[in-house]
A and B are shown apart, each in its own frame.
Chain A
Amino acid sequence: MFLFTEGGHSIPVVDPLGTAGVFSLMWLVIALPLAGAAVLLLGGRRTDSWGHYLGTAMPIGSFAISVYMLLDLLGRDETERSVSQHLWDWVSVGDFRVGMDLLVDPLTILFLLLITGVGSLIHVYSIGYMSHDPRRRRFFGYLNLFVAAMLMLVMSENYLGLFLGWEGVGLASYLLIGFWQHKPSAAAAAKKAFVINRVGDIGMSLAIAMFFVTFGSTSFTVISQGAGEAGDGALTAIGLLLLLGACGKSAQVPLQAWLLDAMEGPTPVSALIHAATMVTAGVYLITRSNFIFELAPHAQTAVVVVGTVTLLWGAVIGCAKDDIKKALAGSTMSQIGYMVLAAGLGVYGYAFAIFHLLTHGFFKANMFLGAGSVMHGMDDDVDMRHYGALRKAMPVTFATFAMGYLAIIGFPGFSGFWSKDHIIEAALVESPIAGVCALLGAGVTGFYMTRLMLMTFFGEKRWLKDVHPHESPSVMTVPLMVLAALSVLGGVLFIGHWIVDWLSPVVGEAPEHALPIPALALTAITVVVVAAGVAVAWLLFGRRPVPATMPIDVSPVIKAARADLYGDAINEGLVVQPGRVLTSGVVGFDHSGADGLVRGGASVVAGAGQGLRKLQNGFVRSYALSVLSGVLIVIVTLAVVNL
């Protein structure tokens, strides 16, 4: 069954089969890490000695089930690759019923493999990375909680369950950013991330409310089948509200400010949550809601604008950061901008958005873990100006990081080359301005990543005293090697357009569109632009020594980039300060206004009492006089009334 757009291409609706075979174990994919989290968090210190092994085993188990399900799906006919499982009725009131329903289809299965696969590797890595932390067990508990929530997010068959996972990953992100919560900066960053995400949740909540009002359901199946009959205004509103939610979770402009602060968390967290999986949830949301966005072209335009702005915004920030994790975070923001841009292109872009999401998951997780490995050897120093010449001290980390580097800048043949190139290509056709920006972004990516490489692994040693860089243990380097291999080879998903064909039952088949110039020429242009970026970086940071302290006297552009393009300042000025004034105003009003009325009433009564008690003067004769006057008043009144 299909919906049709005005353009004429078809949008497949969600129409899953019932469970059978391996798919009846679908729930176990979520239940395993959830059980791990429960055991580790409720078990207390008893589980300290073996907790990290249990925590690592759980996502590996989920990964195994996911692989099994993938094999089953591969053997099925294209129209039968969507399977749902009804677990129990969750909320059911009147005619409104929401089940705890799971869905596995070609889109979900890719996410399952990414989350459990990369997740498992990061769990393994964390065994080494967190080995000196007394609260390692709890760290693994939180990681498992995250994996469970992320799986819920991508496996739910309805928007409410998606929202459950959406908030669950937000909670796990909160807990993990603030993992070292004795540091005020970490605690503040955690809260900031959660609160900004909650602003995005306004969009999610209202979108779900609109689903309820418009379709009477939150199920993908029902909504996708009814979307064709809904009004344009409703669809556009839903699209924009979903975009707001996606902006919060995926750190897109204007809700981007939390991601850089989120680097306060331990590095495996940055790799798993703030690079590979959670921050890409917005892209998943838009792709999953293709049946809404395809029918709401205005919302799609907004998605393209947000993605384009963010990809440049993040890239500019990435150029100016000396903190290796923040530079990578800026890069993450930018790369997700690419994905959002692609998702905004509609049926031409969904598959490439997901493709880039997967390859980005590989190479960015690789580089974050590599950065963690560097920090591990440099006594947790994150300032790249204190690095330099680490390629000899950490050969494995260097080699694996280099693979990630080549992948992200789009070196021909590496995974990022395939995924990014197609996004630029599709953007140039569908939305030339965005396409040019994406091309420019690719050049900037080449610049900042080369800068990061040169400052960290090449040049002179700028190490601080008493720092003795050393290679990390193999429990950390093996995951790096696996991820490096994936970064190089991720492009195989594109052999014979496999990923595009694989996703077409979910996102639809793109009609042919003509490129203005030959595809090969476009690829060549992209490579040249990237090479230019790399060359500029080499001229600035490779040929001359890098100062060990940050130069102060720089252009306003660099200053702005160092200040995250004033994102925090804008929030502070537009939201936080007015909010503070409003709050203290309300507190003041409550004290002197609302409660003031009450206290005013009380003092009027008290004052009246003070005045009236003067009448009680103790002179019997004056009491007698008042009795007399009372009697006279009564008599006179009676007389008057009788008249």
Chain B
Amino acid sequence: MSDFPWLTVMLLVPLAGAALVPVVGAALARQVGLVFSLVTLGVGVAVAAQYHASDGMQFTETYDWISAFGVHYALGVDGLGLLMVLLTAVLVPIVIAASWKDADEGEAGYGALDGNGQGGSAGFIAWTLALEALSLAVFLATDVFLFYIVFEATLIPAYFLIGGFGRAGRSAAAVKFLLFQLAGGLVLLGGVIGLYVVSAQQGAPSYLLSDLMSLDIGTTAGRVLFVTFFVAFAIKAPLFPVHTWLADTTEKATPGTSVLLVCVLDKIGTFGMLRFCLGIFPEASQWATPVVIALALVSIVYGALLAIGQDDLLRLIGLTSLSHFGFIVLGIFVFSSQGGTGAVLYMVNHGLGTAALFLLAGYAIKRRGTASIAAMGGQEKLTPVLAGLMLVAGLATLGLPGLSTFVSEFLVIISAFQYHWFVGAVAVTGIVLAAIYVLWMYQRTMTGPTPEALADPALPSSRDVSVREIAAVAPLVAALVFLGFYPTPLLDAANPYIGDLMSHVGVTDAPPDVTAPAAGHAEEAH
């Protein structure tokens, strides 16, 4: 079965689902959507099972598309791609299960805070599946032009998801989102065209990643093109100062949409930095390091301070991601195995932790009918299970050891410290600020006296999480705990990838200052 086009199938399944869901209508939309997303996950698991960690790019499919420009329909998966694909495939069924009827009109739920757009759940699920298909294509594309096409195409479902479902003001948020992303896309287009020019000058043009990685791009051209790619990815990620679409979007969109945006779509930014910035422009990446690291540090501290100052629960969670993306970018640009692997793990773990936090916040908001932190409080007494899950997700966000986020944050911090002690010292303040924003949020929403008006057990605020709601977030929480103690599955995928990337960039890890002599007993022990 080695010739079986697994990756194309993985893209087609959710696409077919997206086409089918509007046809079957509202009654069956959720079930059909869930089945299609689970089948996608199944294909993803099948790919992972056949994946060989040390073999680099695998499952490649390459067909000429526009031969005059050297454009191909080319797919492939490596360690980074595999993790991102699995993250996407895991999160989409969870989002569908957690959102369930939220997008329906008249449903007493999150969406009821304001009327929803056309299509209800069917529309929501169809766009979600479309977004899944396109995001998977982004992570699988090994042709820069194909990447660019699907990179831009993800904006279409994202725009409709933000603008169609959520709270009042979502249209403006959707437009802001779209303009930011289109601006980034435009810059990227310039870079893509520039790549064609460079590649055409040296013989036959080709957009294949493997060809571009071995292309000899001049120093100046490389730096200019690097900047275009980096700007686009920085907007996507987002990094300070091009982050301001993030908070508005997560505040107005439904929590399900925010999960797709922040945990999947934004990862394209850091994914692109690793695969394209470092892959195609290794020299320019190192040239830009000081500036990028400065931006990452500012993002870490700035995002955390912003999160502390928020009153809207979803906005707060959105801004925590600014801080986290700062960590990811920092890990990428310190150029060491630990930093790179830490960044890749961070991308996965942030996806799991923040998704759980968004969805649980959505549950809480549905129960209280408000997203204002000041107006909540005392929820723990009414719904202890919800509060407990929320606490675990919050602790994951602040990087508590024993949860998977810690491993990645720790790797990034030590390698930042190795890069320069000052960088590590600034980054580490992020862990204190994270404790403040998470625990202060938890204190104000969950603890404290329960308002008198909510004492009636018949009110929706007193209903603890349902089986469906638990089933949606339990896999995330279980993964956070399991991978916190046993991150080896992630490391097995990330380590060879980062090893290859670092040798491609031409960086070797600095040895420790002291290499201790191996002593007697220690050798016997192992």
A and B touch in the complex (CB under 8 A): yes
Chain A contacts to B: CB under 8 angstroms: 1, 13, 15-18, 41, 44, 82, 84, 86, 88-96, 100, 160, 163-164, 166-168, 171, 174, 178, 181-184, 186-188, 190-191, 194-195, 198-199, 201-202, 205-206, 208-210, 212-217, 221-223, 225-227, 229-231, 234, 582-584, 586-587, 590, 594-595, 597-598, 602
Contacts of B400 in A (CB 8 A): 167, 171
For window 392-438 of B, CB contacts with A under 8 Å fall at: 395, 400-402, 406-407, 410-411, 413-414, 417-418, 424-425, 428-429, 431-432, 435-436
In whole angstroms, how far apart are the Cα atoms of A225 and B514 in the complex?
A: 10
- Please tell me if the beta carbons of B305 and A586 are within 8 angstroms of each other in the complex: yes
Q: A229 — which chain B residues lie within 8 A by C-beta? A: 514, 516
Stretch among B124-132, B148-156, B518-526 lining the A interface: B518-526
User: Residue A230 contacts which of B432, B485, B514, B517 (CB distance < 8 angstroms)?
Assistant: B514
- Which residues of chain B are within 8 angstroms of A181 by Cβ–Cβ distance? 380, 446-448
> Closest CB-CB distance, A496 to chain B, in whole Å?
28
Q: Find out whether the CB atom of B519 lies under 8 angstroms from the CB atom of A15.
A: yes
**Count: A-B pairs, CB below 8 Å:** 202
Which residues of the other chain, A, contact B302 by a CB distance below 8 angstroms? 586, 590
Interchain CB contact under 8 A, B522 and A94: no
Please state if A15 and B522 are interface contacts (CB–CB under 8 Å). yes
- Using known A-B contacts A13-B519, A167-B400, determine if residue A184 contacts B449 with beta carbons closer than 8 Å: yes
Residue among B306, B520, B522 making CB contact with A590, cutoff 8 Å = B306
Which listed segment binds A: B67-75, B113-121, B505-513?
A: B505-513
Q: Is A93 a contact partner of B491 (Cβ separation < 8 A)?
A: yes
A187 and B443: CB pair below 8 A? yes
> A230-B514, A586-B306 in contact; A221/B448 too (CB < 8 A)?
no
Whether B275 is near chain A, meaning CB under 8 Å from some CB there, is no
Q: Nearest chain A CB to B524's CB is how many angstroms away?
A: 6
Nearest B residue to A178 by beta-carbon distance?
B447
Q: Which of B6-14, B93-101, B157-165, B336-344 touches A?
A: B336-344
- Shortest B341–chain A CB gap in Å is 5
| Residues of A close to B509: CB separation below 8 A | 94-95
- Which residues of chain A are near B428, meaning CB under 8 Å? 202, 205-206, 209
Could you name 23 residue pairs across A and B whose Cβ atoms are closer than 8 Å?
A17-B525, A90-B486, A93-B491, A94-B495, A95-B511, A160-B410, A163-B401, A167-B406, A178-B447, A181-B446, A183-B448, A184-B449, A187-B448, A198-B431, A209-B417, A210-B417, A214-B512, A215-B514, A223-B516, A226-B515, A590-B244, A590-B306, A594-B241
Interface string of B465-488 (1 = CB under 8 A from A): 000000000000000000001111
Residue of B nearest to A87 (CB): B485
- B305 closest partner in A (C-beta): A586
Q: Is the CB of A93 within 8 A of B521?
A: no
Q: Chain B residues near A221: list those with CB within 8 A.
A: 519, 522
A583 with B309: CB separation less than 8 A: yes
A93 and B524 within 8 A (CB): no
Residues of A within 8 A of B495 (CB): 92-94
A322 to chain B, nearest CB (A): 26
Question: Are the C-beta atoms of A212 and B526 separated by less than 8 Å?
Answer: no
Partner of B521, one of A17, A44, A163, A212: A17
Closest residue to A223 on the B side, CB-wise? B516
Given the complex of chains A and B, what is the CA–CA distance between A58 and B495 in angstroms? 38
Nearest Cβ distance between residue B129 and chain A, in whole angstroms?
Answer: 31
Question: Does B485 lie within 8 Å of A94, measured CB to CB?
Answer: no
> Residue B439 at the A interface, CB < 8 A?
yes
Complex contact A195–B439 (CB within 8 A): yes
Cα–Cα distance between A173 and B164 once the two chains are bound (Å): 44
Q: In whole angstroms, how far apart are the Cα atoms of A227 and B514 in the complex? A: 8
Per a CB cutoff under 8 Å, which of B337, B341, B521, B525 touches A86? B525
Nearest CB on B from A243, distance (A): 16
Tell which of B336, B443, B510, B513 touches A231, judged by Cβ atoms closer than 8 Å. B513
Contact of B401 among A13, A94, A164, A225 (CB under 8 A): A164
How far, in angstroms, from A138 to B171 measured CA to CA in the complex?
A: 45
Assess the B449–A584 pair: CB atoms within 8 A: no
- Chain A residue at minimal CB-CB distance from B418: A213
Q: How far is the CA of A216 from the CA of B514 in the complex (A)?
A: 8
Q: Is B139 interfacial (CB 8 A cutoff)?
A: no
* Complex Cα spacing A13 to B431, Å: 32
Complex CA gap A191/B306 in Å reads: 19
Known: A221-B522, A223-B516. 18 other contacts (CB 8 A): A82-B521, A92-B495, A93-B411, A93-B491, A93-B495, A184-B448, A187-B448, A194-B439, A198-B432, A209-B418, A210-B417, A213-B513, A214-B514, A216-B514, A222-B516, A226-B515, A583-B309, A598-B176
B25 interfacial contact with A, CB 8 Å: no
Contacts of B436 in A (CB 8 A): 195
Given the interface pairs A94-B336, A160-B410, A209-B424, the reply to whether A188 lies near B443 with Cβ below 8 Å is yes
Contact check: which of A160, A215, A583 meets B305 at CB < 8 Å?
A583
Q: How far apart are the CA atoms of A234 and B417 in the complex, in Å?
A: 13
Most buried by A among B179, B447, B486, B488: B447
B240 lies within 8 A of chain A by Cβ: yes
What is the bound-complex CA distance between A636 and B309, given in angstroms? 60
Residue of A nearest to B180 (CB): A598
Q: Knowing A181-B447, A182-B450, A231-B513, say if A94 contacts B435 (CB, 8 Å).
A: no
Contact B522 A16 (CB under 8 A): yes
A597: B residues at CB distance < 8 A: 241
The answer to whether A195 touches B432 (Cβ under 8 A) is yes
- Expressed in whole angstroms, the minimum distance between the Cβ of A254 and any Cβ of chain B is 15
Contact partners of A194 in chain B: CB under 8 A = 435, 439
Interface centre among B244, B406, B429, B449 (most CB of A within 10 A): B244
Q: Are B431 and A184 in contact (CB under 8 A)?
A: no
Q: Write the chain B residue with the least CB distance to A587.
A: B309
Assess whether A594 is in contact with B401, with CB atoms less than 8 Å apart. Answer: no
What residues of B have a CB within 8 angstroms of the CB of A216 in the complex? 511-512, 514-515
Question: How many Å lie between the Cα of A96 and that of B381 in the bound state?
Answer: 45
User: Is B56 interfacial (CB-CB < 8 Å)?
Assistant: no
A586 touches B337 (CB 8 A): no
B308 interface contact, C-beta 8 A: yes
- Residue on A with the closest CB to B446? A181
